[in-house]
Structure 1
Amino acid sequence: MHHSARRHHLLAVAVVASLGATATATSYDSFFPAVTKQTCSAKLNYTDDSPYSKNVADLLSVLTSPTSAIDNWWFRRATVGSASGLAISASGLAMCFADSDASSCRSCFAMVTSNVSGEVFLPDCDHSRNVSLVSSDGCVIRYADAPFFGTSVSSGAGELVLRFPGGDFDGADAMRDARRALLGQLAEKAGGEAMRFATGSQGFMVRGIWKVMYGMAQCTRDLPASECTGCLVDLLAVMYRDVSVTNSTEASVMGFSCYLRYQMDEPIHIAGMALPPSPPPPAATHPTGSASPSTVGKMTTVLIAAAAVTLLITAIGV
């Protein structure tokens, strides 16, 4: 299944799993609406004819122009306004998640920016000076009346939790162990990479059957290493706390500053990157008694995306 389709299958339970999320009236998928989470400062805090209003409009244009973030490997940041007048300058960033593609990225930005005034699906953010928004369509946008780069939005501010609708996995204990090991390692690896991104896989055995979990971790690239890893660890804690995700074979947590995702059996598609190799099953053994239902072999393969940046930009062809 294509990665965009998989994400929208996750949306079937997203409204339930994400308390306080807003389902948008407009969607770029014919079956499921996009789901957004946002946090904003006091609304109605500037007027349409104010310098800040113009700066916000110019900033969003810079951040979400057709090739802006995409050509910069899904990320762009900027400040618009006089350096001597920080009270009216607008600073912001935009990022599409790496499991999006160029078309999805553009559509997500278009959906967000066309409604940023709050008149459609952001009524709580109408004319707010400081806005952070993440969409299940695959993008995040933040802007404020003062520079905020290098600082993540704290956990609990409005993460979007999506999970795959399905029954409990037979072997949930082993799966949870694999998930904890894989995503914990990816959180550390992503923080140490210039692109603030990592993807990898974790193999584990359940009732004699070799299974593979695939994962990815991504931060906005303004974050220093420690801030990125801390943000991802916080999302991992959100995932642990959400009972809807406990035994789910596929889920993601989207924050305003970072993103975690895992799924079983099928590699996560990253545009322009070769699919990661699956970890091989352990060597065959000759048991002397009955087989244990628990994990009997694990191997982790982590691939870092930095080496694929040139390939990605070439492959998108925008």
Structure 2
Amino acid sequence: MSHLVVVVASLAVVLLARCAAAYPWHLCGTAANFTANTTYQANLGLLAAALPKNISSSRHLFATAVVGAAPDQVSALALCRGDANATACSGCLAVAFQDVQNQCAYDKDAAIYYDPCALYYSSNATSLASMDNVGRTNRVNNQNVTSDPGRFNRQAAALVSATADYAAYNSTRRYASGEADLGVGGQFPRVYSWAQCTPDLTPARCRGCLAGLIAKMSRRFTGSVGGRSLGVRCSYRYETYSFLDGPVMVRLAAPPSSAAPAPAPAVGPTVPTPGAVAGGESSYYSILIFHLVASWHP
């Protein structure tokens, strides 16, 4: 009996650890490390104090900052979701600085993602000037579509693409939310989405960044009721439940009935896509976690 208790307790610890590690999602860099009580750590502390204040006063809830001089210079970029308010944005970012330094202790480069905000910092002096979508990761809803998955996949892909178009070309904040009708009698009545880029990207760069993520949507998320592809410069998400805090900007009508469906077309973006996008994948609804902590070289 005592052996069983130990086994159950050990299993519980493992499950709790996995669930706790699943969110927020962090990625630790491999470029270099710093030691405690050094100038680099002090500069990171200055950023942690300044950036939450800076972002709360930003019209687009976006902020960048650079502190110190090489080799102890730290650059940081922070972005809150387009439907967040300033108070929630600032609070999320303050927590992000604490959490990422715990998860990526003494790494000079790291990123962390929450629902309301994202944070990235680096020792690379050119990181803020670069428009590369570093720190990429993908998270998959572990629930599958069982009723007419082809129709669902097509409508979800159409919504994500339309939302990305709106974010890039119709919003100075480079943010958009979407909702699509899936029709009566299906497994899910609607699907929701958001897409966002950092507002310093041009419309074309924003759409190209999102296209690079959407190009792999069919391989990563086909048959899943939800998923998100996250990066420092651009991200998107879709779900069968509403996770939005603001008004919907893009609406799609229900697709034609699939009583006699034609072969499903390939799912992909509506614009040319850039090169391949790397990133880890995991489930955020089950305890099965793959590549929870990824690494990259900025």
Specify the TM-score bucket, using the shorter chain as the normaliser: 0.5 to 0.7
Question: In the TM superposition, what is the alpha-carbon distance from 1:133 to its structure 2 partner?
Answer: 0.9
**Aligned pairs for 1:185-264 within 5 A:** 185-192=162-169, 193-205=171-183, 211-242=189-220, 245-264=221-240
Instruction: Return the match for 2:247 from 274, 277, 294.
Output: 274
What are the superposed Cα offsets for residues 110-166 of structure 1, whole Å, 9 maximum, x if unpaired?
A: 33212444xx3214xx142xx2312245422122331423534447x5414141x43
The question of whether the paired residues in 1 share the 8 Å contact of 2:163 and 2:177 is answered with yes
Tell me the distance in 1 between the aligned counterparts of 2:107 and 2:250: 47
In structure 1, what residue type is equivalent to 2:56?
I
The question of whether the paired residues in 2 share the 8 Å contact of 1:173 and 1:294 is answered with no
Alignment CA distance shift 1:210-1:158 (3 Å): closer
Query: Is residue 156 of structure 2 the alignment partner of residue 179 of structure 1?
Result: yes
Instruction: Return the match for 1:77 from 45, 59, 64.
Output: 64
The question of whether the paired residues in 1 share the 8 Å contact of 2:131 and 2:233 is answered with yes
Query: Is residue 80 of structure 2 the alignment partner of residue 91 of structure 1?
Result: no
Q: Which has the higher contact order (CA 8 A, sep 6+)?
A: 2
Please name the residue that 2:94 is paired with.
Answer: 110
Provide structure 1 residue ranges, at least 5 long, that are not aligned to the other structure.
1-15, 17-21, 26-32, 296-318
Tell me the distance in 2 between the aligned counterparts of 1:172 and 1:195: 33
The question of whether the paired residues in 1 share the 8 Å contact of 2:192 and 2:238 is answered with yes
- Aligned-residue Cα RMSD (Å) equals 3.7
Question: In the TM superposition, what is the alpha-carbon distance from 1:260 to its structure 2 partner?
Answer: 0.5
The question of whether the paired residues in 1 share the 8 Å contact of 2:176 and 2:250 is answered with no
**Aligned pairs for 1:1-318 within 5 A:** 34-45=23-34, 48-50=37-39, 52-65=40-53, 68-72=54-58, 73-81=60-68, 85=69, 87-98=71-82, 100=84, 105-117=89-101, 120-123=102-105, 126-128=106-108, 131-145=109-123, 146-154=125-133, 157-163=135-141, 165-192=142-169, 193-205=171-183, 211-242=189-220, 245-264=221-240, 266-270=241-245, 273-276=246-249, 279=252, 291-292=259-260
Tell me the distance in 2 between the aligned counterparts of 1:210 and 1:138: 25
The question of whether the paired residues in 2 share the 8 Å contact of 1:207 and 1:293 is answered with no
Alignment CA distance shift 1:257-1:293 (3 Å): same
Alignment CA distance shift 1:111-1:291 (3 Å): same
Provide structure 2 residue ranges, at least 5 long, that are not aligned to the other structure.
1-14, 264-298
Tell me the distance in 1 between the aligned counterparts of 2:250 and 2:168: 22
In structure 2, what residue type is equivalent to 1:69?
I
The question of whether the paired residues in 2 share the 8 Å contact of 1:133 and 1:141 is answered with yes
In structure 1, what residue type is equivalent to 2:151?
A
Moved over 6 A (4+): 206-210
In structure 2, what residue type is equivalent to 1:173?
G
Tell me the distance in 1 between the aligned counterparts of 2:95 and 2:71: 28
Tell me the distance in 2 between the aligned counterparts of 1:88 and 1:189: 39
Q: Secondary structure at the match of 1:292?
A: coil
The question of whether the paired residues in 2 share the 8 Å contact of 1:34 and 1:137 is answered with no
* Matched positions, count: 245
Question: In the TM superposition, what is the alpha-carbon distance from 1:210 to its structure 2 partner?
Answer: 9.6
% identity of equivalent residues: 24
